[in-house]
Amino acid sequence: MLRQQEILALELIFRGEDKLSRAIKKRISEAESVGWEETGVGFFSTIKLNYPLSEVPEVRMWSYAFDHPDFPFGGVFNCMIVNENEMELEGVTLGGIDWPHPIDPRLFSDIS
């Protein structure tokens, strides 16, 4: 089971309806989080997919940079697809402030 933050990050990064985004969103409910770490300015976690991706995409790194009222300089969610079964997720503030643990998806907007 993923944390709320992890689900939010994945849903924002893979908010599109392309093949990869659909495949990942489909696997969120069955995914597991291992190696969760809060760094003060963000977090890292390793996501294990119980249903592997049918293929690893050419583009491994996917990001969503956002504006948010609690982030004076914005923030970024990153997801590196390591292999069919594993992804490395990262959230980090831009500008070095403390990570405010945002959970309301309605407050996120594409970074200006």
Partner 1 sequence: MDENGLDTGKLNLSTGSLNIEHLTNRSYSSNQSVGVSANVAVSSQANPGDPTQSNTNLALNSSNYSYQNTSSQSLDKTLATVGQGSIKVGGKVVEPEGLNRDIANLTKDIYNVDRQQGNIELTVDHRLLSEEGRKQIAADFEKIADKVVEVVDTLNKASPELAGNVADAADNLQQGASDSVEGKDTTGQQIAEKVEDINQREAESLLAQELILPELGEPGDAPELIGKSFDEQVSELTALKSLQEGNFAAGEQSAEEAFQNGYIKGWESASGNGGNGWIGSDADYESAIAFYQNQNAQLRLSLGLPADAPIGGIGDAFLWGGASLLDATYQTLQFVGNVYSYPMGWSDSDNPFTANYDSLIGTDKLFGNPATVAGALGRDVGEIGSYIWEPTALLGTASILGKAAKFDDVGNVVPDKASIGFNGNPALDVVITQYNNNDIHHLFGRGGDTPTKLLDKFGSPEAALKELQMAAQQIANKNYQTGSWVTVKVGDTPVTIQGRVIDGTFRISSIAKKEF
What residues make contact with partner 1 under the rule CB under 8 A? 18-20, 22, 37, 39-42, 44, 51-52, 54-55, 57-61, 63, 65, 73-74, 76, 78, 80, 84, 88, 90, 92-96, 98, 111
Query: CA torsion sign, 54 to 26 to 77 to 50?
Result: negative
34 versus 59: smaller Cβ distance to partner 1: 59
Rounded to whole angstroms, how far apart are CA atoms 19 and 60?
14
Rounded to whole angstroms, how far apart are CA atoms 95 and 111?
14
State the minimum distance, in angstroms, from the CB of residue 100 to partner 1: 13
